[in-house]
A = this chain, B = another copy of it.
Amino acid sequence: MTSPAVSSRDLPHPVRDEIRLEGVLHALSDPMRLRIVRELATASGELSCSHFDLPVTKSTTTHHFRVLRESGVIRQVYRGTAKMNGLRRDDLDGLFPGLLDALLDAAGRQAVRGG
């Protein structure tokens, strides 16, 4: 099978109008979460949590994904045992045109610079 059905377990997401700029910035001000978002941006599509190899425990990884979801940066959905993650590009671009691209570009430049 290629793609297990979406589970009935659902996760609370803010609707578009509930997304706050301060929350987004706070979510992205953590190096680990910025790294996650950068990886999600390059891989156009959904990625499972376990795809990420972060230098923290799984508990902490769960925590970071929750912060990203609750701030409105990513959307999460269960698919089988996996939890798939995707950037909320449409919502973010709709609310804050150009912001996400500027942030990703900034993060990319800093990475090149050495960070």
Contact = CB atoms under 8 A, between A and B. Distances in A.
Interface of A: 17, 20-23, 25-26, 28-31, 34, 95-99, 101-103, 105-107, 109-110, 113, 115
Q: Is the interface of A mostly helix, strand, loop or mixed?
A: helix
Given A25-B29, A29-B29, A103 B99 contact: yes
How many monomers of this chain does the complex have? 2
Contact of A22 (B34, B95, B105): B34
| Most chain B beta-carbon contacts within 10 A, residue among A29, A96, A97, A110 | A29
A25 to B, nearest CB: 4
Contacts of A34: 21-22
A17 B113 contact: yes
